[in-house]
Amino acid sequence: MLFDVAAAIPAVYYTAICSLDHIAHFKQGESILIHAGAGGVGQAAIQLTKIRGAKVFVTVGNESKRQLLKETYRLTDSQIFYSRNNTFAEDIRNATDGRGVDVVLNSLAGELLKETWDCIAPFGRFVDIGKADIIANNVLPMGPFDCNVTFSAVDLVVVHEQAKPLMKTIMQDVLRLFEKHPHLHEPKPLHIFAPSRIEEAMRYLQGGKNTASAIWQRTSSAVGWVAWAVRSYAGWLAVAPGTSYYLLFLGTEGKPNALKFIKEIEDMGVKVTAPACDITNMKLLENTLQQASKEMPPIKVCIQAAMALRNLHELLPADMDFFILLSSFCEIDGNLGQCNYSAGNTFEDALARYLASKGQKAVSVDLALIAEAGWANQNYRVVTESLRAGHGGVKQEQLMAMLDALFSPEELYRITQDDRLAWMTKPLFNNLLRIGEARLDTHATVDKNEDGFVDYLALVKAAATLEEAGEVVVQGLVQKLAKSLSLPPENLDVEKPAFVLGVDSLIAVEVRYWFMKRLRVKVAVFNIMKKQPC
């Protein structure tokens, strides 16, 4: 199975298995209504229920999605209804002789959810995976509960965070399912996006016109220490679906272990390119990277383990997700005979700090001797002397653990931020923090004015009354929502709640960041999505 295909399976099948097996306890021969049948979860649910001989009904948003389900899953017109209005509810009741369906897999909201709620049969189970009304804290009619029905919600994030044993069981269920039924497949068609188009992918998923799943690809590069790089870095990263690897070193000639491990990684379905390249040769490196840009997805990760750096810094893209420089603790605790080596490693740390100050995602790791691999592995005398001096070195597993920590930006950010707040908020230092913010404000205002941006914070401060300040915020929010929803500003009714305008949880997060960035206030996503006008 290709990684592109494998990447499209877990989320949708986990949701379907959790909803139908662990929440709804779906039984063979029962009837089910699946909203958004052409979506990823919808297609997974259709395949699961057809295996069990269920009577399947689905809804779609347009004719092309209807044709997709008819051609892919051989559903008939009598099983497919439109979800753009509430006529599907009456169609379902007619198709079931007025009884309704045993299970509903719902992703609709508002009045359409209520219409679906009326389609539930006695002892039926209603599973909501959309959660728009739950987030908005809307009211649900109580009448259907008189027939012993249940209403449940499924959120895989909550399952992962609060019920890890259940998450493990769901994962095992999906693996067993594919072993038992090899004809099962990923949602179709797949839509593959490069990392540079992630925003486009998110807009595509939010647009309501999407089918199946969207995934994106990237390329990781490892530079230097070829045998170890292939074995450790690439083998460690190879678990990432949709990833390609670009290994830069002097060549594989005379390095059978390198060829062996490249073959092993390729057998896992990962694309590996390993051109012979001397990275100290600027022109050769430039030509190599240009060729890579034609053949592979954009480079988003670089682990630099070679004793050369300048050319990589100048030629690699500036928008990488990670640029990890392997430096040495000798810059801190070296000896008199290592001045030049210490200077080079000090420069690596300084470069990483400089790149980070420019907003790039770079970090330098000061390692001790790695005796098991790389240059040290080929210089036994150096390793022996180091051990005699009391330097035990770093094991490969320890380095992999360090890289795992570096690839967890949320954890790193929280630690850094807590340390800053712990002392910068004290009265003794608080004025220094405010001076820095004032300087940033001055530069930001100039840049925004030159670029044509509206400084909403300045307009709010300049407002004579509370009503005027509120009008400034409303106008700014309308402009933000209009851009996010791809709608003309005049089409947005500010008297309606945000979720009615089409704001989902992803856009709500964008709005939250807009408030923090443009108005310096914190607004909870719950407050943005609750049932009251914007």
pLDDT for position 382 = 64
Under the banding of pLDDT at 50, 70 and 90, the label for residue 417 is very low
CA–chain centroid gap for 383, Å, is: 41
From 110-119, 128-137, 391-400, 436-445, the region with the lowest mean pLDDT = 436-445
pLDDT, tens digit, 9 for 90 and up, residues 477-520:
888 888 887 777 887 888 888 877 778 888 888 888 888 888 88
Residues facing residue 248 across a β-bridge: 223
Beta strands in 249-290 (DSSP E): 271-273
**How many helices and strands, by DSSP H and E, does the chain display?**
27, 14
Residue 180 has pLDDT above 80, yes or no: yes
Under the banding of pLDDT at 50, 70 and 90, the label for residue 427 is low
Percent of all residues in the chain with a pLDDT value above 90, rounded to a whole number = 26
- Mean pLDDT (whole number) for 366-378: 66
Q: Provide the CB-side half-sphere exposure for 228 (13 A, CA).
A: 21
From 164-178, 220-234, 351-365, 481-495, the region with the lowest mean pLDDT = 220-234
Fold classified for 456-529: 1.10.1200
pLDDT for position 265 = 66
Furthest CA-CA distance within the chain: 90
pLDDT, tens digit, 9 for 90 and up, residues 84-110:
888 899 999 999 999 999 999 999 988
Instruction: Tell which residue, 35, 4, 9, has the closest CA to residue 208.
Output: 35
Distances (CA, A) of 213 to 40, 177, 189, 239, 454: 5, 20, 7, 20, 37
Distance of alpha carbon 34 from alpha carbon 129, whole angstroms? 11
Provide the 8-state DSSP code for 208: S
What are the tokens at 466? Answer: 């509370």
Q: Where do the H-state alpha helices sit in 299-373? A: 310-315, 330-333, 339-357
To which CATH superfamily is domain 224-438 assigned? NAD(P)-binding Rossmann-like Domain (3.40.50.720)
Contact 191, 216 (CB under 8 A): no
Distance of alpha carbon 275 from alpha carbon 153, whole angstroms? 51
pLDDT for position 383 = 64
pLDDT for position 414 = 39
What are the tokens at 256? Answer: 């059978």
From 45-59, 112-126, 351-365, the region with the lowest mean pLDDT = 351-365
Q: Where are the domains of the chain?
A: 3-187, 224-438, 456-529
- Mean pLDDT (whole number) for 337-343: 78
From 69-83, 215-229, 436-450, 454-468, the region with the lowest mean pLDDT = 436-450
CA–chain centroid gap for 115, Å, is: 33
Residue 140 has pLDDT above 50, yes or no: yes
- Count the Cβ atoms, other than its own, within 10 Å of residue 265: 19
Q: Which conformational region is residue 131 in: left (phi greater than 0), alpha (psi within -120 to 50 degrees), or beta? A: left
Contact 247, 272 (CB under 8 A): yes
Instruction: Say if residue 289 is exposed, middle or buried (CB neighbours under 10 Å; 0-12, 13-18, 19+).
Output: buried
Predicted model pTM: 0.49
pLDDT, tens digit, 9 for 90 and up, residues 3-55:
678 888 899 999 999 999 999 999 998 999 999 999 899 999 999 999 988 89
Residue 530 φ/ψ, nearest 5 degrees: -75, 170
Q: Is the peptide bond before 409 cis (omega within 30 degrees of 0)?
A: no
pLDDT for position 27 = 92
Residue 39 φ/ψ, nearest 5 degrees: -75, 175
**Of the CATH numbers 3.30.1180.20, 3.30.465.10, 3.40.50.920, 3.90.180.10, which one belongs to the domain with range 3-187?**
3.90.180.10
pLDDT for position 499 = 77
From 4-8, 172-176, 297-301, 444-448, the region with the lowest mean pLDDT = 444-448
Q: Which of 52 and 338 is assigned the larger pLDDT?
A: 52
Q: Which of 380 and 454 is assigned the larger pLDDT?
A: 454
Distance of alpha carbon 74 from alpha carbon 333, whole angstroms? 70
Residue 185 has pLDDT above 50, yes or no: yes
Distance of alpha carbon 319 from alpha carbon 199, whole angstroms? 14
